[in-house]
Amino acid sequence: MAFHLDDNELYYFNEGISTAAYEALGCHARTGEFGETVYRFAVWAPEALAVSVVGDFNEWNPMADPMHTVGTTGVWEAHLGFAREGQLYKYAILTREGETVYRADPYAVRAEKDGTASMVAELPSFPWTDGRYLETRRDLYNKPISIYEVHAGTWRQGLSYRELAHELIDYVSDMGYTHIEFMPLTEYPYDKSWGYQVTGYFAATARYGTPEDLMYLINCAHERGIGVIMDWVPAHFTRDAHGLRRFDGSPLYEHADTRRSEMPQWGTMLFNFDRTQVHSFLLSSAMFWLKEYHFDGLRVDAVSCMLYLDFGKRDGEWLPNKYGGRENLGAVEFFKKLSKAVDRLPTQKLVFAEESTAYPYVTHPVKDGGLGFSFKWNMGWMNDVLAYMEMDSYFRKWNHDKLTFSLCYAFSEHYVLPFSHDEVVHGKKSLLNKMPGDYWQQFAQLRLLFAYQFAHPGKKLMFMGDEFGQYIEWRDDQSLDWLLLEYPKHAEVQRMVRDRSRFYTTTGPMYRADDGWNGFLWLKPDDNLHSALAWMRMDERGHAVLCAFNFTPVPQEDYAIGVPESGSFRESFSTDASRYGGTGEYRNDLIRTEEEPMDGFDHRIHIKLPPYGGVYFTFRKG
């Protein structure tokens, strides 16, 4: 009747190299010798004096179903022939202090909705139909990546995973985004944490449906050619009593020293990356979502907090590493293991680092001394450009470097340019309301900002609502203000974002050669007097797009730009088009180069640069 734990998997688990610990630990069903369903429960609790499974099936009696230890692995195991799918359970753990504590299963794949228990369940065998899509996931660095960041509960409030599978995916497809990035969907107890205080690292939150429902959503996205990324939180976990904190009465997942185990500013517990079993737990969680749910990637939250022991702490509040430094050596090793595990997967998956410091080689391969992430969020670019856009245009000429400095390091890593949820909460204002000036100027500058973002080297990310000019900050308990689309200016900026996204995804120079000077050429970097910029984006096929921007309300009707080759330039996109809410007065006809040197180039062109405008020109040689 019994089916036993794999000794090899438990060895890998304790060595810190398991990427499939969820196959051994947690709750799993098998057919017994008489045809009955038997559930095996297994949990890691090495400091416990005794452990039992309690639940609906035994009236939550801690004496009814004791577990036994599996050798010296620290794992406890029990087999129950009377538990049924959908029943609730926990582990009752007798600590060395003589206290019995009740914990949810860290490896449970389902959790109680609006409660704290785990649910007897196995991961469903979903009929995936995304094989053709997965086969195309190759060479993603040279493909367009335009990410739409979503909070599942407030995009349109009250939608389930299956409803999102149609409404959200239809919208994302229509808008031209290539990926959806969901804020955390791992189970969490507190709505106001937005999912960043996790209790279930293997359980999809029950707020929006079942595991099968989430798989259905992802499968539908893939059938439409849209990738799905999940925000994943391996830095810290909630203090809630049913969670991981002092799981078996000892600091098991966290460090024993509070200077290493607590993050005061978030009120959470930090994972102990010096512990090998923590590596296995988190590696297995990452692989679980990528393999079992077919997520295309993970956005790793709070990487800086993981890399630096003094992150967010004052002197005396943190404990140095064994060399006296502030680097978290265990976290560095963990990231390298994660990268290697992802690289071994049969299809290309992406791992994004939300990292705000100058830590080197975040996206360089592990073999070259890097951490191995696919992409890093360019927080420096984001902070600089938003600070610049919030200034009155009169002062921008003295802060021109906020637009140009990012190109000093743009190719040192593989970057994503993020306008995320963090920039439109906690009094920071919406993107639209960050823009100075009157009603027309605010919308014009928002369109300009989006055009600048999509022309700048790096992959792209926008938070939901930004694309139609949400007026107020994101609220975590209300839907987006979709009614704003009844007003022309909001519908027009949405139309512009849609057209810009399509231009980006269908125009090679805008995304190919995104990580080097072979894909970018400065034409006009230093015109701070006019607060204007111009550059060329190129690809390896010889195609090029000239991108020009005017960050003032003063139009430049005869703006001269030096260019490297003779040929013609055709206006392909302008934020000032009347269909986008612009003036429509500064349309450029076909422009031919003049053989007159300028700015170190042998040729020049003259263009119309609209007020608060961004214009893309497609180049043709000869």
How far apart CA 164 and CA 153 sit, in angstroms, is 10
**The pLDDT of residue 36:** 87
Contacts of residue 33, Cβ cutoff 8 Å, sequence gap at least 6: 1
Place of tokens 């910029």: 533
Task: Single out the residue of 423, 340, 417, 323 nearest to residue 376, CA to CA.
Answer: 417
Active site residue 354: yes
- Domains along the chain with CATH numbers: 7-119 (2.60.40.10), 143-233+291-333+352-362+373-510 (3.20.20.80), 517-621 (2.60.40.1180)
Q: How would you write 502-554 as a 3-class SS string?
A: HHHHHCHHHCCCCCCHHHEEEEECCCCCCCEEEEEEECCCCCEEEEEEECCCC
**The pLDDT of residue 1:** 35
Distances (CA, A) of 18 to 105, 284, 285, 454: 18, 7, 10, 39
pTM value is: 0.97
Catalytic residue among 301, 355, 527, 539: 301
Average pLDDT, consecutive stretches of 10 residues, N- to C-terminus, the chain (622 residues)? 74 97 96 88 98 98 97 96 97 98 99 97 96 92 97 97 99 99 97 96 98 99 98 98 98 97 95 99 99 98 98 94 97 99 96 97 98 98 98 98 98 98 96 98 99 98 99 96 98 99 98 95 98 97 97 98 98 98 97 97 98 98 86
Of all residues in the chain, what percent are helix, strand and coil, respectively (each to 5)? 30, 25, 45
Tokens of residue 511, six digits: 């995304």
**The pLDDT of residue 622:** 79
**The pLDDT of residue 5:** 83
Task: Single out the residue of 258, 364, 245, 276 nearest to residue 317, CA to CA.
Answer: 258
Catalytic residue among 65, 149, 262, 354: 354
Tokens of residue 306, six digits: 């993981």
Rounded to 5 degrees, φ, ψ at 232 are: -125, 140
**The pLDDT of residue 3:** 66
Task: Single out the residue of 254, 154, 169, 283 nearest to residue 220, CA to CA.
Answer: 169
**The pLDDT of residue 33:** 79
